Amino acid sequence: MIDMALVQVAFNRDNARPVVVCEAAKGTNDELFRSAFLDTPSILFSWRLRLKNRIYTLAKDCSSEGWNGEGAFPMSSEAINAAERFIDLLPEGVMEPSITVENTGDMAFDWDIGADMTFTVIVSRDRAVYAGIFGDSRRRGTERIHSELPGTIKDVLLAYFRKKT
């Protein structure tokens, strides 16, 4: 279960978001982009595959109980499956998010383009808890994820976090 208080803290600019990531997340992008099947990153490596590769890297290092030294739950196969499903549903043309592991064992997808433009989606089984700051506007909520990305999340991503061409 995702603690909404944690999500609220994550988006309160008066308090810094507690950083809860495993050691793999501290690696360089180049290290995290390496495929389990390739020794080097490839320009042909699709962005969805790169994101999934990050999940596998994080899952490997965050699979045991207490991986953060503070009693964090391990990532489960259900968490990995939920994160993969979320990646598959992301719309084309959206910026790649950073991915972290929450102390609940769930994956968090973060889009941050600076000065009050940030959006996080925490994926847990068939649910997505989201919160964002868009200038003076704020949004947060919970949506079920079925066969497509919920409109509230998709609309935010397409409105604020499109790739620059």
Beta bridge partners of 112: 118
Average pLDDT of 38-58? 75
What mean pLDDT value characterizes the chain? Answer: 79
Whether the pLDDT of residue 34 is over 60: the answer is: no
Residue 45: per-residue pLDDT:
58
Task: Give this prediction's pTM.
Answer: 0.74
Q: For 137-146, what is each residue's pLDDT tens digit? A: 999 999 999 8
More confident residue, 11 or 121: 121
pLDDT tens for 50-69 read 999 999 999 998 988 988 88
Residues in contact with 57: Cβ distance below 8 Å, sequence separation at least 6, in sequence order: 24, 27, 31, 32
Comparing 149 with 12, the larger pLDDT belongs to 149
The fraction of the chain above a pLDDT of 70, given in percent, is: 72
